[in-house]
A and B are shown apart, each in its own frame.
Chain A
Amino acid sequence: MNGKLGPKPFDSTRIIRLIGGLLFAYLFLGFMLLPCLDTLTSIFSTKDASGKTDPFAVIRFFLAGNMGKYVLNSLKLAVLLVLTVNIIGISIVLLTEYFDIKGARILRLGYMTTMIYSGVALVTGYMFLYAGDGILTTALKDAFPEFSPKWFSGFNAVLFTMTFACTSNHMLFLRNAIRGIDYNTVEAARNMGASPFKVLFKVVFPTLLPTLFSLTVMVFITGLCAMSAPTLLGYDSINPEIVRLAGSSSADEAFPQARAALLSIILAAFTIVLLTVLSRYERKGHYLSVSKTKAKLQKQKITNPVANVLAHIYAYILFIIYMTPVVMIVVFSFRSWESVKSRSLSNGGWTLLNYFGTQDYQYQASSGKMKVREGAITGVFSNKDTLGGIQTSFLLSVIAAALACVIVVIACNYIFKHKGKKRGTALEYALLFPWLLPTILICYSYRIFFNSNDVWYVFGQNLYYEDRVRILIIIAYMVVKLPFSLRMIKASFYAIDEELEDAAKNLGAGPLKTFIRVKLPIILPSVLAVFALNFNALFTEYDMSATFNSAHGRTYAMIIQSMVQDEGMSYTNLNASGRRCASTVFIMIVSGLILYLVYGVGARDLSERLVSREKRKRIAAKLKGVFRKGETGA
């Protein structure tokens, strides 16, 4: 025997590992590799009019310039988004963390609002303000009759909305990076005669560059893969076109599936190249502070009075842009149907109807008679469709988020036990695989590949058929969330001191008991945090929902979308705008609660929990005392 103790040839641990290995192989081959390979090969399996296979037909179609606009539009959006998001993102971080701006705390809260509502909820929120029938547009139209109500649509609207939607990562990561700067380096530069702006550009920015580079790549990929904003605001980019083509048939247009597949693969190629560049850059390492006595960054006063005033004006304009949709949505979510419909606070009154309860709808029929449709105006939680969407999304998201966490926890345990060995590394790469592929490619591949009775390893069941689409959505949700879960949960495994396992073993605990009693409690806060963040992202997820959209797989995001699209048509979707506002508020509350639980409650360790338990006990004892005194007094 050499070195470490090894398992016996046929013990129970080996059998469990073998079963686990087979399940992972099934997941990787069956739900990551094969469907995507099928998409890749479908590009080259197009047939001409005579039924003969013409492998390069779609490539010729692409080169002839028939699809290029989608790629170019996406690239244009991605490039400009990098510029605008970085300008706004860096501005808001500097204004709240680096420069001494009055009211920075309030400003920070405003800039962080995109963390509690994003995606389709944010886009519809902006539309509520700026779209043709939006509050601002209505007001402008009333003031200036010449004003075009369609000003907020197409590329500019998408760029504007996504610019403010995508600064959340700057508020998270760039903020942390700037707070990590050693203030002594700033003082040293000042001491050597550098002006405040020279310090900013020569000392502060260089240390932020690695973070900025990562953020830039992330923004570029987000722009390239944009879905909800282009769909709702009307911009021809890759993702909405893939979804459109996936739902089309060859009777309507030339080889739609192959074209969708080609666009997906182009997107994947861009993503892979960008992620490779990013990981190469990350491998070079970040600038780490070498200081042993790091000083906390102190805010810099802008000494030039004109610059100071301009900085304050700029900060508050941004604050207004961030906050206006939030405030308007919250306010209008409590306004009556008449008020919401007219986008005016002067009509109607305050109500909870957008959340709960129903109201009759009175209208004049073509005969001139007044008619009543009972209970036609409904709130979020009294509308059957909306409630159904919430329930579906809740269920699918909870299951998928939990499955992703369970799989990753088991995998991480294995990876850490086989650190530096090929099988551990192979498993890790397999779970990171979906990160290389755009979500839309995975979902499109699923929709096409599993929309058949010929896939033997799912027992010949068509997973896109009726209720089974929900299984497909769960698998897609789970697979897409594996890389993020792995990165986060793996980091928490590093917190487990290897000696803890040895200690448990020495005290007589077997591998399962050691895992449940020692390791799991340590990683549990992180696992629960990842679960909550996964759930948060999936609950209002739009891209996948749009790809799998069907009568049986209608998620909350699709319901929210329908609140925009169907509003006012034939009086069938009455109070959709009211429900949309209430829905957005509901999403903000859910997201805010989850972020509080993750970063507030969940981040507490045992000692902090014991201290707060003590505090609670003391308060309870005090209350008891007061209560008893009251009783005796009485």
Chain B
Amino acid sequence: MIQLKDIVVRFGDFTALHNINVQVNEGEFFTFLGPSGCGKTTTLRTLTGFISPAEGRVFVRGKDITDVPIEKRNIGIVFQSYALFPTMTVYDNIAFGLKIKKLKKPELDQKVRTIAKKVDLSDEQLAKAVSQLSGGQQQRVAIARALVTEPDIICLDEPLSNLDAKLRVQLREELKKMQREFGITSIYVTHDQEEALTLSDRIAVFNKGVIEQIGTPNDIYNHSATEFVCNFIGDINRLSGPVVQMLIDSGASLDPNWHHYIRLERVHVNETVRPGAVAIPGKVVSREYYGLYIKYYIDLGSQTIKVMERNDGVHIYDPGETVRANIDPADLMSYEPAGEEAQP
């Protein structure tokens, strides 16, 4: 459906995107994920036509759209700020694109009301000014405005970043539901890994203008292709030399010069040691109570590791208590150090 081929974008002497290659399938929810300044929005703006690439081509359904003007690409955008026109009512905001296309009033009206219904906006809300709506309602208006012109693709540029945590989670679910209903190919830009993991069919992780990995949320989380991805997605423990040595001494086949990581939930406290796993003695330094989970900080002598345990209400360990941290070497993600980096 969408293909970004060998895209390079430069701003003066600075190269923002280095040889970006992405292929997005029809109806897919695809996310560009990465920290600020990594090039995800630049890639999106290249796709939507606001930025022209120095090298490379953009294809949609096999058609080269690299030189097609923005308004003729048929791509809907939901902006980070929603970019709702403050001097227009909700109705006029949604109708804006249709008025530009010079649709006749009855058809325009029917389209606006249909899309408004689909995104759960009432007739009363249509008559309001956008400033009279809540953040969630404003987001729906932005989506309706982007979808009413029946685009081939919808691009969402960090649409949840301006909202509070609770509303963000609520709207995340609504967004996914809407995308499934409309079945439209969606490109989503975010720096929030949780958002990316919960919403996406596939994710491209960006770093310093290059794509580090493209894959499903499971691939990205459990089989991070690079050390950057492994560190960027979720919380993780990097094991120190003595701990790695203990694992090697217990028969694990690990290169001591590589960097070895383990996710918090893969370390288990005081559990019966599984075959292949190693029990390392330690002491609980502190704990953080999350309700469903409890996070422990356990001193293993050479380092303090973080462990996320399910809260069963029975096995709760107090600071100072001696415990065993069970680590299975099969759960480790290992990376060869880049360049001449010293071992920790």
Contact = CB atoms under 8 A, between A and B. Distances in A.
Question: Do chains A and B interact in one complex?
Answer: yes
Interface of A: 1-5, 497, 499-500, 502-509, 513, 517-518, 521-522, 524, 605-607, 609-610
B75 interface: yes
A517 B93 CA distance: 11
Given A506-B71, A509-B100, A605 B86 contact: yes
Nearest 5 CB-CB pairings of A with B: A521-B87, A507-B97, A499-B83, A503-B83, A607-B129
Interface in B82-123: 83, 85-89, 96-97, 100-101
A521 B79 CA distance: 20
Nearest to B53: A1
Given A509-B100, A605-B131, A607-B131, A2 B12 contact: yes
Contact of A508 (B9, B83, B100, B127): B100
Given A508-B71, A522-B86, A606-B129, A3 B52 contact: yes
A513 B83 contact: no
B48 interface: yes
Contacts of B129: 605-607, 609-610
Contacts of A607: 128-129, 131-132
Given A5-B49, A606-B89, A497 B71 contact: no
B86 A502 contact: no
Contact of B10 (A3, A506, A609): A3
Contact of A500 (B50, B53, B83): B83
Nearest to A495: B86
Nearest to B10: A2
A548 B309 CA distance: 86
Contacts of B87: 518, 521-522, 524, 606
A432 B88 CA distance: 33
Given A497-B83, A606-B131, A4 B51 contact: yes
B131 A506 contact: no
Contacts of B100: 507-509, 513
Contacts of B97: 507-508
B77 A502 contact: yes
Contacts of B316: none
Nearest to B97: A507
Nearest to A500: B83
Interface string B40-56: 00000000111111100
A354 to B, nearest CB: 44
B11 A506 contact: no
A416 B79 CA distance: 20
B71 A606 contact: no
Interface string B304-339: 000000000000000000000000000000000000
B31 interface: no
Contacts of B132: 607, 610
Interface string B268-300: 000000000000000000000000000000000
Nearest to A496: B86
A610 B76 CA distance: 29
Interface in B8-64: 9-12, 16, 48-54
Contact of A502 (B53, B79, B128): B79
Contact of A518 (B54, B81, B85): B85
B189 to A, nearest CB: 13
Contacts of B65: none
A505 B80 contact: no
Given A3-B11, A3-B51, A497-B83, A506 B89 contact: no
Contacts of A4: 50-52
Nearest to B75: A506
5 contacts: A5-B50, A497-B83, A505-B71, A506-B70, A610-B129
B70 A505 contact: yes
B190 interface: no
A568 B129 CA distance: 60
Contacts of B83: 497, 499-500, 502-503
Contacts of A605: 86, 129, 131
Contacts of B48: 506
B263 interface: no
Contacts of B80: 499
Contacts of B191: none
B207 interface: no
Contacts of A518: 85, 87
Contacts of A506: 48, 70-71, 75-77
B52 A1 contact: yes
Contacts of B149: 507-508
Residue among B75, B80, B101, B132 with most chain A CB within 10 A: B132
Given A502-B79, A506-B71, A610-B132, A3 B145 contact: no
Contacts of A508: 71, 97, 100-101, 149
Residue among B48, B50, B130 with most chain A CB within 10 A: B50
Nearest to B42: A3
Contacts of A606: 86-89, 129-131
A1 B11 CA distance: 10
A606 B81 CA distance: 18
B79 A5 contact: no
Nearest to A505: B70
B145 A2 contact: no
Contact of B145 (A1, A507, A513): A507
A518 B92 CA distance: 11
A513 B85 CA distance: 13
Contacts of B131: 605-607
Contacts of A1: 52-54
A5 B50 CA distance: 7
A390 B145 CA distance: 50
Nearest to B128: A610
A513 B127 CA distance: 23
Contacts of A505: 50, 70-71
A500 B93 CA distance: 11
Given A1-B53, A3-B54, 9 more contacts: A3-B16, A499-B80, A503-B83, A504-B96, A505-B50, A506-B76, A605-B131, A606-B88, A607-B128
Nearest to A518: B85
Interface string B141-180: 0000100010000000000000000000000000000000
B286 to A, nearest CB: 28
Contacts of B77: 502-503, 506
A559 B49 CA distance: 61
Nearest to B100: A508
B323 to A, nearest CB: 40
A610 B130 CA distance: 11
Contacts of A522: 86-87
Contacts of A517: 85, 96
Contacts of B70: 505-506
Nearest to A520: B87
B326 to A, nearest CB: 44
